Chain A
Amino acid sequence: MRKLGAFLRLELKTIAEQTTPLYIALYLIALLLFVLTTQSVWMGVVVGILSAVTLVNYLFHVSEKNNMDALYPLLGLSRKDVVCGRCIFGFLLTVVVVTIVSFASFLLVAALDAMLPGLREMAEIDFSVPYASQLLFLLTTVVVTMGVLQLPIYFKMGYSRAKNIAIIIPSIIVLIFAGFMGFVMGANSVGDKLAAVNAFLDSPVFIVMCIAVLVFAALVSYRLSLKFYQSRDF
């Protein structure tokens, strides 16, 4: 447990260059402009997911650039410790970033609505607790699925060789996700479609499906990443 804590700290320090107050301020300005342009909480959430994925990618970039894969064994970390630690760190980072950005987007859209009423789509979205939890499930599933598909590629090929392949995967997933959300939003004007989607999102089948996908995705990602990373030399 102590070693995991130490490794998470190392990972956090590795991306520290991207988490300075200046970068965070710039990021929030960019987010504000994005939300202002799109007037949608959902687009803010999508940006949050992409940001988290970018930060995890950046972690691989910094560690490869500085040959830090050679540092981990010197610190007594086995390949398994590294893969396990990075999966946990990636997951925690993603959850934290998505939560913060979603909340910030919500506040920005709400503020926009107060200042410029009628501009945004927010009024049509019911932000009740059950709806928020459904979204959380859906978001988490999307985020972990990205991790599942990206992490093993990075562990196998390293950042430089994997970045072009790996960037396609989140793009596809985000497009599918955005398309799905667009469908839900579009269905708003067609009462029966929205009702059907809402009924599915409300059903236990959806929650069980999300959990099953999460567990399966996490296991597959971990096993593949470990297999690939164990066979690499640095």
Chain B
Amino acid sequence: MASRQPSPPLTRAQESWLLAGAFLTLAGGVFRLPPWLGAAVVLLFSLRATLWWRRQPLPPRWLLGLLVLAVSAGVLLTFRQFFGRGPGTALLTLLLVLKLFELRRARDGVAAVFLSFFLLLVHFLEAQGMSMATLALTALLVLVAALASLADDGRKIADHLRLSALMLAQATPFMLVLFLLFPRVQGPLWGMPADAWSGLSGLSDSMSPGSISSLSLSGAIAFRARFEGDPPPHALLYWRGPVLRDFDGRTWRAGPEQAATGAAASAAGLDYSVTLEPHNRRWLYALDVPLAAPPDAHLSAEYQVLAKAPVRSRIRYEMRSAPSLALDTGADAASLQPYLDLPANNPRIRALAAQWRRESPDEGAVIARMLRHFRGEKFFYTLTPPLLGEDGVDQFLFETRRGFCEHYASAFVFAMRAAGIPARVVTGYQGGERNPVDGWLTVRQSDAHAWAEVWLAGKGWLRVDPTAAIAPERVEAGLASALPAGESLPFLARADLSWLRQLRFRWEAVGNAWNQWVLGYDSQRQRELLSRLGMREPDWRAMTALMTVLCAALLAGLAAWVLRRQASTDRVQLAWQRLGRKLARSGLERCPWEGPRDYSLRVAQARPDLAQDVRAIAALYIGLRYGKLVGKASLQQLEKRVADLKPALRR
């Protein structure tokens, strides 16, 4: 760069601002990096901070060059490429840290600040929660303060921070206008490249022993729901997910998808809305039994709500369900046949079920006997059941007798089919926790559950939850109360830390509000808002026009405010200029460089009739502008005397 004047070297205060800003920026993303890259970032930053602390010189450029090559090679080794979000973010983060080793002049400082700005933006591709936003805002405040210190060093810390806060406050109205009015594309706020779905958890379309119990260790939120009125009792909160039909002896899988034959449109339903976290699967969760699917989704023959595409961003939908509804009462034998198929293993339960069926032809009695079997024998409800072998169902029912809900549901459905009763496994979530702060029901991964449905002639599909027979508390009150003490549970799902739970309730309520109003502000909501403001069917042109007009108005308002502030301090000056204009009309113009005393003497000499007034005005002006005279009274006096002065035209 052929800059004529080299930019000045950085002072220690400026350096500390830059390091603080970079620290906050890095803190937002370092934990999402691959472990060794994250460790490298932490190590390099600590090294840089130590150099700053000990006032030691920065490393030479060739060493930095080597480091750049090393970290680039590291990123390439980890990701196998440079393209894509993961390697891009990692590279950017490492380069920011290395840039900190190059902070010599103000130019480097500006570069580091803008790199930090960019990295803050990149963080939002990965996380958009409240905590990320708070961190980013703090980092922004410090970074702008760093810029302020680069522009004008000799000030106090508080001055830089105040200036930074003021600038951000001035930017806020513009941010709001842009946020509310910038034409939205369909889809999430942050469009993400395709490698973003790796870390999402949730139920899958198959179930084998252990698959749900492992999910139960996660305290992550699956979805939130809000009912129009009071939510139904805990025991009725069965959130229907994948329905599993085919069994291979170990794993239950969903059957082929079939469209609903006839939608049961019952009037008596429960209205609620669900905000579903992304889980990269097509199904939407709905309270058993959903009556109709929301837009862009449909109801399957097994009463699953299926979206058109996998859920890859948080979505919100309105649902209506009927808690007690007879399903497919008139199903024919052919359509029920797949619900009777069994693999050839597990002979003991097969024999037992067949025997039960022979003894009592009534299907209800068979179901009751099976449940009695669970209740009568010493079965345990546990998150850590022993591993099962070839004949898993037999082993569980007659030997280990320890299992989680998937074991019970699986064994129950197996037994029913063996007894000739059509049955299927339904997975989903059971229960949910009502957040007392905002009234939303929160359903977590730890609420994952599996239950059974049996088809009885005349009654249709009926829900039977064998877990309720073993551990009724699971269904009545939740997982924490159903497990024996000492079982490991997600820390926050424990009931005994009440203050912690209160804190979590509040934090989650804030997070939910953030999700609903900030992240959930999509094109749909934008249209709603604008139509509430009186814009019918706003298209992007209208929105852009409105946005431009509002921004211009804001800018004008801000300018007026600044000018007014300046004007109020300069009322003295305005009055003095007015005097000059008045006298200029009678040929006594003030030279731009002429001082007040000289001017008043000149005027007094030329116009003895005005001498007294002009001298008094000059004395007031001198006192106000160059002396220690302050106060409204003197200012008003000055303005009044200037206004009253009537220099007649020169004769």
> Do the two chains bind?
no
* Interface set of A (CB-CB < 8 Å, partner B): none
* Interface set of B (CB-CB < 8 Å, partner A): none
